[in-house]
Amino acid sequence: MASDIEIARSVVLRPIVDVARDAGVPEAAVYRYGPHQAKLDSGFVAGLKERPVGRLILVTAINPTPPGEGKTTTTIGLGDALNRIGKRAVVALREPSLGPVFGRKGGATGGGRAQAAPMESINLHFTGDFHAVTAAHNLLAAMVDNHLFWGNALDIDPRTITWRRVMDMNDRSLRKVVVGVGDGVNGQARETGFDITVASEVMAILCLASDIEDLQQRLARIIIGRRRSGEAVTARDLGADGAMAALLKEAILPNLVQSLEGRPILIHGGPFANIAHGCNSIIATRAAMHLGEYAVTEAGFGADLGAEKFLDIACPAGGFAPDAAVIVATLRAMKHQGGADAAAVQEPNGEALAKGMQNLARHVRNVGQFGVPAVVAINHFAGDTDAELEAVQAFCASELGVRAVVCRHWALGSEGAVALAREVVRTVETTPASYAPLYDAGLPLLDKITCVARSIYHAADVSVSPAAARDLRRFEADGWGGLPVCIAKTPYSFSADETLLGAPTGHTLPVREVRLAAGAGFVVAICGDVMTMPGLPKTPGATRIGLDAEGCITGLS
């Protein structure tokens, strides 16, 4: 069986200007990064608001197994299939992070015959957006320490500095570091640390900003710490926001690539859904909605993370709402959620599947709480049995009142997702959405966290560390109580304990830390043992990646 990278290389890609033209983008608005990828001109993107607005389809999933269940593959396959049946569709995705590429999960451009291309470029440096975010974030960090070194005119209390550094790589050894060590010429010694770039508030700002002016205003509001008097210190106070915006001048432009079938895909921004808000940029999503009759976008990990944040954070910020949600499920993930050993999930196991379907049921019902109709996409894997596939379809029809469609886009491309495309079209044409966020913006911050925990995770309670409770009170006293919450937790369970599988109830959500992202416009609640700087597995994916004698990349998946 050919690998993803071999399949991708077997396809002759279209010139990106031709892909753009078919999507309604003139060549003058295309800034080419080589023959097969480009950025779109900001003036052209701004002018799209005069065009009609297409339907918005959100692709999400059940709680996954560590390798992932093919959500990006399904998103691309659905976009291709909608085009195949005569609906003009544009896909909007997040950019891959180098951390997973060289870590456990691999790339994030889909798989098989449903991929975004050129996959090697997209999975590695792409157009440099992540590097720009990293540079802008670390510029502010350098200016904080430089301000302390040169006399601290703002009277910043070093103990209150919350602005850490970032890099786009998994490196657990950098979670806690001491900077400024030396004989005094290296600055003031203090403890800090690194997060992965996708957890940066700058990344969230890039994805939630509506344009370059909004971007700079949000950057200016970033809070890095407090004066000894207790007053917040911002990036604007340090004079950093202008230079940060300058570094992001090109990064804010959405990227255009193509599927293996030559259909348009916008890829822009890349916050993780387990430690950030997990959605591609508002700019790219809006552009896709104006360029196509259908815009198909994806939210990271399971619906308890990415979809909830898309619906409670991105939709209010972007002023849009989905017309339908596609919930991706696999037999192997449901068996895993039903207690089957991870090494045996490809084997028939009716008992584990029946238990695991309760995880799918909760996700379908949770999406319904937002007033969004759902379709289930069963992403087919080799070895899946007809009997088990039919069992899931029967369960969805009888217990959930939704249709579950078996999809074979990995093997067949758009042909394998035509049934899904037709069901999505039928759903949006016959079942109008009545979207509303889960909670009212006026609720206290802890009540918002509790609402998500009880309504989405089915937790019995929330436990908050004394430090987190103190910080929540301070955020509200400073006027930030109206912000939504962004919960960081494991993606593998509804709870904060990744071993608690299925559809657990009665558990407690432990909030150990909260962070104010004033520029992005949300409060992060860090739960359980989730880390904002991941580590590499015992055998990193990087050990399989290299170059062959012709200089082609090998081992990338």
Instruction: Give the H or E element holding residue 512.
Output: strand 508-517
Catalytic residue among 60, 73, 134, 192: 73
Q: Which residue has the tokens 């995705």?
A: 93
Dihedral sign (CA 269, 259, 309, 276)? negative
**Spatial distance between the Cα atoms of 315 and 321, rounded to a whole number of angstroms:** 6
DSSP 274: T
Averaged pLDDT score across all residues of the chain: 96
Catalytic residue among 105, 165, 226, 448: 105
Catalytic residue among 84, 175, 361, 381: 381
Q: Are 14 and 262 in contact (CB under 8 A)?
A: yes
Catalytic residue among 29, 89, 240, 273: 273
Respond yes or no: is residue 134 known to be catalytic. Answer: no
Instruction: Give the H or E element holding residue 369.
Output: helix 350-369
Respond yes or no: is residue 94 known to be catalytic. Answer: yes
Respond yes or no: is residue 299 known to be catalytic. Answer: no
Closest listed residue to residue 531, CA positions, set 178, 194, 65, 160: 194
- pLDDT digit string, tens, across residues 118-134: 999 999 999 999 999 99
Predicted confidence band of residue 1 (pLDDT cuts 50, 70, 90): confident
Contacts of 403 (CB under 8 A, 6+ apart): 375, 376, 393, 396, 397, 423
Respond yes or no: is residue 105 known to be catalytic. Answer: yes
Residues forming beta bridges with residue 267, ordered by sequence position? 93, 255
- pLDDT digit string, tens, across residues 93-127: 999 999 999 998 888 899 999 999 999 999 999 99
Respond yes or no: is residue 489 known to be catalytic. Answer: no
For 1, other C-beta atoms within 10 Å of its C-beta total 7
Mean pLDDT of 526-536: 94
Closest listed residue to residue 24, CA positions, set 43, 49, 42, 48: 48
Q: What would be the CATH architecture of the domain defined by 445-527?
A: Roll (3.10)
- pLDDT, position 68: 74
Q: Are 522 and 277 in contact (CB under 8 A)?
A: yes
Respond yes or no: is residue 163 known to be catalytic. Answer: no
- pLDDT digit string, tens, across residues 52-68: 999 999 999 999 887 67
Predicted confidence band of residue 3 (pLDDT cuts 50, 70, 90): confident
Catalytic residue among 14, 55, 87, 94: 94
**Spatial distance between the Cα atoms of 183 and 12, rounded to a whole number of angstroms:** 59
Q: Are 70 and 410 in contact (CB under 8 A)?
A: yes
- pLDDT digit string, tens, across residues 214-259: 999 999 999 999 999 999 999 999 999 999 999 999 999 999 999 9
Question: According to the 3-state scheme, what is the secondary structure of 168-235?
Answer: CCCCHHHCCEEECCCCCCCCCCEEECEEEHHHCHHHHHHHHCCCHHHHHHHHHCCEEEEECCCCEEEC
Tell me which of 3.30.1510.10, 3.40.50.2300, 2.40.110.10, 3.30.470.20 is the CATH number of domain 129-247: 3.30.1510.10
Catalytic residue among 102, 130, 194, 301: 301
Coil, strand or helix: which one is 304? helix
End-to-end CA distance of the chain: 14
Question: According to the 3-state scheme, what is the secondary structure of 28-48?
Answer: HHEEECCCCCEEECHHHHHHH
Instruction: Give the H or E element holding residue 481.
Output: none
Q: Are 545 and 557 in contact (CB under 8 A)?
A: no
Phi, psi torsion values for 418, nearest 5 degrees? -60, -40
Tell me which of 3.40.640.10, 3.90.850.10, 3.40.50.720, 3.40.50.300 is the CATH number of domain 4-125+252-430: 3.40.50.300
Dihedral sign (CA 442, 444, 449, 454)? negative
pLDDT at 184 over 90: no
Question: According to the 3-state scheme, what is the secondary structure of 81-133?
Answer: HHHHCCCCEEEEECCCCHHHHHCCCCCCCEECCEEEECHHHHHCCCCCHHHHH
Q: For the chain, what are the domain ranges? A: 4-125+252-430, 129-247, 445-527
DSSP 249: T
Q: Are 301 and 491 in contact (CB under 8 A)?
A: yes
- pLDDT digit string, tens, across residues 372-404: 999 999 999 988 999 999 999 999 999 999 999
Predicted confidence band of residue 437 (pLDDT cuts 50, 70, 90): very high
Domains 4-125+252-430 and 129-247 share a fold: no
Q: Are 378 and 406 in contact (CB under 8 A)?
A: yes
For residue 137 the two structure tokens come to 């974030």
pTM of the model as a whole:
0.96
Own/partner contacts of 214-217, CB < 8 Å, gap of 24 or more, are 215/245, 215/248, 215/252, 216/241, 216/242, 216/244, 216/245
Q: How many CA atoms lie within 13 A of 511 on its CB side?
A: 29
Question: According to the 3-state scheme, what is the secondary structure of 416-446?
Answer: HHHHHHHHHHHHHHHCCCCCCCCCCCCCCHH
Catalytic residue among 410, 475, 480, 494: 410
Predicted confidence band of residue 197 (pLDDT cuts 50, 70, 90): very high
Q: Cα torsion for 345, 399, 462, 336, to the nearest 10°?
A: 0
